[in-house]
Amino acid sequence: MIYSILLILVLWLQEDATKEILLKITSMEDLRLSVPEMITSKSDMRQWSRVQKSLGKIVALVPTMGFLHDGHLSLIREAKAHASTVVVSIYINPSQFARNEDLSTYPSNLEVDLQKLTAIGGVSAVFCPENIYETASGETKDGRSEERGDLVSCLEEDGGSGHETWVQVERLSKGLCGKSRLVFFRGVTTVVTKLFNVVEPDVAIFGKKDYQQWKVITRMVRDLDFPIKIIGSDIVREADGLAMSSRNVRLTPQEREKALSINQSLSQAKCAAEDGQHSCKKLIGLVVEKIIEAGGEVDYVEVVDQDYLEVVEKIAKKPVVMCLAAWFGTVRLIDNMEIHIPQ
Ligand SMILES: *[C@@H]1O[C@H](CO)[C@@H](O)[C@H](O)[C@H]1NC(C)=O
């Protein structure tokens, strides 16, 4: 009886149907294989990574602060193109927020992040350190009870917790975003150094939306001889031109509409430059005017050279990048556009 049912089934399964079922089975296999391993301890992470490397794998790290969007997913695709093993770290780094900044409102949703990473496939591990700072607990020398785990307090009163070492890229950290966010890059470079030391990647991917961050990290790796290749990945924009950012969800619909002036003005400035307007002052004026007209508040708009981020007055042979930070309501957005006029 069972055999005859099976026989009927086999006859009934046309070639296409069989293929379809086989396809389904393989994609289920893929799905199972693509659930990334969740790692929370530093020593487990380092050991895991060393095992991968001993198997001859090239390990890529994509450092993130979570709340993943398509911009992050494109960093992961870039990582896959350069490595056989991809590690995504998710860590909201308190040391890159100043006291008055949006640390407490920075969006996060680990569960959804893990679903996205599973869906995209090819991510081998997710490193989610609870706090990658070792903090001294118990009593300090002067008898104070020491329980502070947060780095922000350590920032305010240096030496107040178990962490007192900083990595700082001197010159590149000062301009652009470094002007209004004094502690920002010191926090980034210190935590990225720690991530590099824990994960020991061969390659690390950074988004060019954070252009200065990408350059600062590249410089740090060069200056401190990290055996890591840094890759900058292109900005990913929403269909309407807004650069993808985890902070975008905090914009009201009206603010979001106003924020479109960022891409529009930068694109227009780029076109103007290509059409022969080589005065950076004029180009900056054009952008500032558009942003203000739209109802935004400009933090800075600057044209700098792509390598050293030095201010440029006139666009010539050297490739430059126009960088911008502006407030829309309570949200500070950054964006940039590379401009290269071949002469
Ligand atoms: C950015 O703005 C420019 C100028 O308005 C526009 O042509 C372009 O399509 C926008 N980008 C996107 C991705 O919408």
Looking up residue 231, the CATH number of its domain turns out to be 3.40.50.620
Rounded to whole angstroms, the Cα distance separating 283 from 274 reads 11
Give the 3-state secondary structure of residue 64: strand
pLDDT tens column, 245-259: 988 999 999 999 999
Residue 321, domain extent: 246-338
Residue nearest to atom 14 of ligand 1 (CA): 241
Q: Is residue 219 domain-shared with residue 268, that is, in the same domain?
A: no
- Which atom, in ligand 1's list, is nearest to the CA of 237? 13
Of 74, 257, 267, the residue with max ligand 1 atoms within 8 A of its CB, to mutate for a pocket test, comes to 267
Q: Rounded to a whole number, what is the distance in angstroms from the first to the last CA of the chain?
A: 81
Q: Residue 320: enclosing H or E segment and its boundaries?
A: strand 320-328
- Looking at the predicted structure, is the pLDDT value of residue 144 above 80? no
CA torsion, points 323, 328, 332, 334, in degrees to nearest 10?
-20
Measured in degrees and rounded to the nearest 5, phi and psi for residue 208 equal: -75, -5
Give the 3-state secondary structure of residue 54: helix
**Global pTM value:** 0.81
- Looking at the predicted structure, is the pLDDT value of residue 53 above 60? yes
Q: Is residue 211 domain-shared with residue 286, that is, in the same domain?
A: no
224 in any annotated domain: yes
228 in any annotated domain: yes
And the tokens for 343? 């002469």
209 in any annotated domain: yes
Distance from residue 287's CA to the centre of ligand 1 (Å)? 14
Domain end call among 236, 266, 283: 236
Q: Is residue 105 domain-shared with residue 189, that is, in the same domain?
A: yes
Q: Is residue 46 domain-shared with residue 108, that is, in the same domain?
A: yes
193 in any annotated domain: yes
Distance from residue 211's CA to the centre of ligand 1 (Å)? 20
pLDDT tens column, 66-120: 989 999 999 999 999 999 999 999 998 877 776 666 777 777 889 999 999 999 9
Rounded to whole angstroms, the Cα distance separating 127 from 88 reads 6
Total of domains in the chain:
2
Distance from residue 180's CA to the centre of ligand 1 (Å)? 28
- Looking at the predicted structure, is the pLDDT value of residue 143 above 50? no
Domain end call among 192, 211, 236: 236
Q: Is residue 71 domain-shared with residue 168, that is, in the same domain?
A: yes
- Looking at the predicted structure, is the pLDDT value of residue 133 above 90? no
Residue 223 Cβ inside 6 Å of ligand 1? The answer reads no
* Residues annotated as part of the active site: 72
Q: Is residue 53 domain-shared with residue 99, that is, in the same domain?
A: yes
277 in any annotated domain: yes
